[in-house]
Structure 1
């Protein structure tokens, strides 16, 4: 692993230990955290949690919930655990090392049908479509194994109770394969495009889906990150400070 840095995140509400080089927490983690609003007593799993940025951002907003950070790379899972301690969140947050593409166990923290929320930022690229980065961790974070998004969504489906909620942030061009993997597993699918600027196509999508729902798909108004001057829009700026949530209502 490269040198580890300590830096403020979410407007200074969190402190994150993370590798100086390679995959680092940023806007994707901010938006993913803002997409989930668990109620007191509920359980949320952050799959592919990395150093824990998204799950920890939910944890400081929902201190009466159980948050589980799931990461496959041992050194990064150890940093997630360190970040839990660094931010004093050990009472309701735990990190664990697990492969989300493997079958769930009937006992233990990742048993089927035990979660109310799953959030995830899966690898954006399919194996063989991009050159592997020099960092092994960055490669794991950015490039899928042979089963791709299907395996991650299958894991989320198994973890969630009926009517539990899954939220994903992904590249916009992944939408067809995400919808295919969600089919017959999830409904009430709500898609929020994330635009760099108002006059540019979406680079990301936020997608929320409900297990066992039959409600129809809804395409919501976009979230625009930057104004014409290049600065964050007021909405994006508030989200980066940890203030406010993604609006999943029909009116956007």
Structure 2
């Protein structure tokens, strides 16, 4: 990609800056929310599947010091941007260009305390294809959602956590694919009062045995509708998106 094909965008109130395509898939609030939901602790090893240009990993690194983070991205252009963004941030992320369905042998031999993922939201063949190939690959799955979950589970240490953001309608698929993952909790993301949750964040623990929990929704915007220019985030969401605060997980 040439410089004219890129923009450099700010996240967490400017604490994270990332180059990304001016057209195509562009990271928004979802990777920031994903990072805020990950219960990583200093010194742990984290794997991000489908890291794109690295926004979620960079946001997580900005919040939790001393993490060792590895990102996997199959689109070479996006992986290159993730490396560039990590180098500019001094974050020390390791970026592996690979398909998660065929991870390199060295990566398959490693185990992680945390795995985070923001898989494509749309099933193969559903809807209208995006004109930009990068956006299409990021938004429409070529690898089944169940495989994302099983690969994440395989790479987790016993007691490690998977954190994943996905559309609410695909929650049954995620739950059905969990296998050895337990202690499941689901946080619905409600766009506005009175509206259905469009997204969910799922947490599951390898070998966990705690009962399933469906948490109270996290409200993103104030007011029943968007009525004026500017942002309408709730105070809690503004703290997450602008100040790098963690999502308060009950």
Using the size of structure 2 for normalisation, the TM-score is 0.92
Deviation of 1:101 after TM superposition, in Å, equals 1.7
RMSD: 1.5
Aligned to 2:82: 80
Aligned to 1:234: 235
Question: CA contact under 8 A between 2:59 and 2:244: conserved in structure 1?
Answer: no
Aligned to 1:194: 189
Q: Which moved more, 1:151-160 or 1:93-102?
A: 93-102
Aligned to 1:136: 133
Deviations 1:166-198, CA, capped at 9 Å, x for gaps: 00100000011111111x321111000001102
Question: CA contact under 8 A between 1:49 and 1:120: conserved in structure 2?
Answer: yes
Deviation of 1:247 after TM superposition, in Å, equals 2.1
Is 1:4 the counterpart of 2:6 in the alignment?
yes
Deviation of 1:144 after TM superposition, in Å, equals 1.1
SS in 2 for 1:194: strand
Aligned to 1:224: 219
Using the size of structure 1 for normalisation, the TM-score is 0.92
The 3 A distance-change label for structure 1 pair 226 and 32 is: same
Figure out how many residues of one structure are paired with residues of the other and give that number: 242
Structure 1, gaps ≥5 residues long: none
Deviation of 1:39 after TM superposition, in Å, equals 1.6
The equivalent position to 1:119 in structure 2, one of 116, 136, 147, is 116
Deviations 1:125-167, CA, capped at 9 Å, x for gaps: 111112221111111111112x511110111011101110000
More helix by share: 2
Structure 2, gaps ≥5 residues long: 227-231
Aligned to 2:249: 248
Aligned to 2:60: 58
SS in 2 for 1:101: helix
Tell me how far apart the structure 1 counterparts of residues 35 and 42 of structure 2 sit (CA, whole Å). 16
Question: CA contact under 8 A between 1:112 and 1:160: conserved in structure 2?
Answer: no
Is 1:168 the counterpart of 2:164 in the alignment?
yes
SS in 2 for 1:244: coil
Aligned to 2:229: none
